[in-house]
């Protein structure tokens, strides 16, 4: 992407800023710290090359709202054909996120779980879509949160309805420009599993989506018996396609650690098999959910799986590698991983009888 060995640079400033943000996100730096680079890219995107170059030479880039000294330095280097120092450092540190899982990763055609800034993600929907295209995905399912998850700005009926129109518009734009020739942004939701096992969105709206991930986000410490009943209730709902991060545990990260929820895993996975629901292998390093023992149990019970990034920023879409490595280590047959399937097969599975 524009980098050369002699320190020269042939990309645009926008490309440099986006690449820096991508690499920082992929390296799990805090979304807030990365925002400056994403914002700066958005500020200069509509400007002509000449205007940006003139401002760089005159030292007036920082007069633009949203451009600070560090982003101005990146832009100035880029327009002068010099590889920005920040990018040099990040590219030098670039390597595989984890060893192993390459074969499984290569078979993944897309990703069933991701968030935009409509709920608690850090970037607009279109930026998530562009990055998914750059990663070679055939599809990305947008799964913002549901209404009751107010801490994550969950989408009301009205907002989700509006979002579906935006997804249509983005797909039309991608088709028109040819940018997304082989790519589709799919409509989805990460719907909360409520205490009684019902789903936190109207059935009428759930029916309009392509893929639905159902997850527990509240009362994670519920007793084993009611938690089992709650999860099975959601799995039995004919709209549910994927059981998201089933234990809710956190193994590291700035939100602290959290033990797994307690439930009868055999009963839950048996319900997943009976109702054709995939068990999510959540790729977020702080989740690693399900834990290995449960992953192997689900494997032995014949469950389907989906390897999901649960990305909250574009660079995190690359987290699929972590989940692929876990699936490989657990010896899971790729044919049972739903995102290795062609898109048509995936959509038929997720919407039987549609």
Q: How far is the CB of 315 from Zn ion (least distance, A)?
A: 16
Site membership for Zn ion, residue 280 (CB under 5 A): no
Q: Which is nearer to Zn ion, 138 or 190 (CB)?
A: 190
Q: Where in 152-191 is the site for Zn ion (CB under 5 A)? A: 190
- The piece of 10-18, 168-176, 198-206, 208-216 that touches Zn ion (CB under 5 A) is 208-216
Report the residue number, 87 or 213, with the smaller CB distance to Zn ion: 213
Task: Confirm or reject binding of residue 215 to Zn ion (CB under 5 A).
Answer: yes
Is residue 192 near Zn ion by the rule CB under 5 A? no
The interface mask with Zn ion, positions 37-76, x = CB under 5 A, is ----------------------------------------
Interacting stretch for Zn ion, rule CB under 5 A, among 78-86, 130-138, 246-254, 308-316?
A: 308-316
> Which residue's CB is nearer to Zn ion, number 190 or number 325?
190
User: Taking CB under 5 A as the rule, does residue 283 contact Zn ion?
Assistant: no
* Least distance between Zn ion and beta carbon 135 (Å): 18
- Measured from the CB of residue 309, what is the shortest distance to Zn ion in angstroms? 9
CB of 109 to Zn ion, least distance (A): 20
Nearer to Zn ion, 2 or 148 (CB): 148
Nearer residue to Zn ion within complex by CB, 90 or 227: 227
From the list 310, 316, 317, 346, which residue makes contact with Zn ion (rule: CB under 5 A)? Answer: 310
Question: Are 317 and 140 in contact, with CB atoms under 8 Å apart?
Answer: yes
Sheet holding 139-142, edge to edge: 110-111, 139-142, 184-192, 211-215, 242-243, 278-282, 304-308
Q: How far is the CB of 38 from Zn ion (least distance, A)?
A: 20
Inter-CA distances, 265 with 232, 246, 308, Å: 10, 9, 20
Count of residues near Zn ion by CB under 5 A: 3
Work out how close the CB of 143 gets to Zn ion at its nearest, in angstroms, rounded to a whole number: 6
Nearer to Zn ion, 12 or 31 (CB): 31
Alpha-carbon gap, residue 114 to 307, rounded angstroms: 12
- Residues at the interface with Zn ion (CB under 5 A): 190, 215, 310
């Amino acid at each position: 992407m524009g980098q050369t060995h002699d320190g020269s640079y042939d990309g645009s400033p926008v490309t440099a800023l986006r690449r820096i943000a991508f690499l920082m996100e992929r390296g799990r730096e805090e979304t807030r710290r990365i925002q400056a680079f994403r914002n700066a890219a958005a500020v200069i995107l509509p400007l002509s090359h000449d205007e940006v170059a003139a401002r760089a030479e005159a030292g007036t880039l920082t007069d633009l709202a949203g451009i600070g000294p560090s982003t101005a330095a990146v832009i100035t280097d880029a327009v002068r054909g010099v590889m920005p120092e920040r990018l040099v450092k990040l590219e030098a540190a670039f390597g595989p996120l984890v060893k192993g899982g390459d074969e499984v990763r290569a078979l993944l055609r897309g990703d069933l779980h991701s968030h935009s800034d409509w709920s608690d993600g850090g970037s607009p929907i279109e930026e998530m879509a562009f990055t998914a295209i750059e990663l070679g995905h055939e599809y990305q399912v947008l799964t913002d949160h549901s209404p009751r998850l107010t801490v994550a700005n969950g989408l009301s009926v009205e907002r989700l309805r509006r979002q579906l129109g935006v997804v249509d518009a983005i797909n039309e734009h991608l088709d028109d420009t040819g940018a997304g020739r082989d790519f589709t942004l799919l409509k989805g939701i990460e719907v909360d599993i409520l205490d009684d096992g019902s789903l936190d969105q109207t059935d009428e709206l759930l029916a309009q989506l392509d893929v639905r991930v159902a997850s527990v986000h509240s009362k994670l410490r519920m007793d084993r018996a009611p938690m089992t009943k709650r999860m099975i209730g959601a799995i039995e709902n004919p709209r549910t396609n994927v059981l998201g991060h089933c234990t809710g545990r956190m193994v590291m990260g700035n939100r602290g650690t959290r033990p797994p929820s307690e439930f009868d895993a055999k009963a839950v996975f048996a319900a997943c098999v009976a109702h054709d629901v995939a068990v999510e292998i959540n790729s977020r390093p702080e989740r690693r959910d399900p834990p290995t023992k449960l992953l192997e149990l689900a494997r032995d019970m014949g469950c389907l799986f989906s390897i999901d990034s649960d990305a909250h920023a574009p660079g995190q879409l690359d987290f699929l590698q972590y989940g692929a490595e876990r699936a490989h280590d657990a010896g899971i047959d790729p044919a049972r991983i739903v995102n290795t399937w062609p898109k048509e097969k995936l959509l038929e599975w997720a919407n039987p009888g549609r």
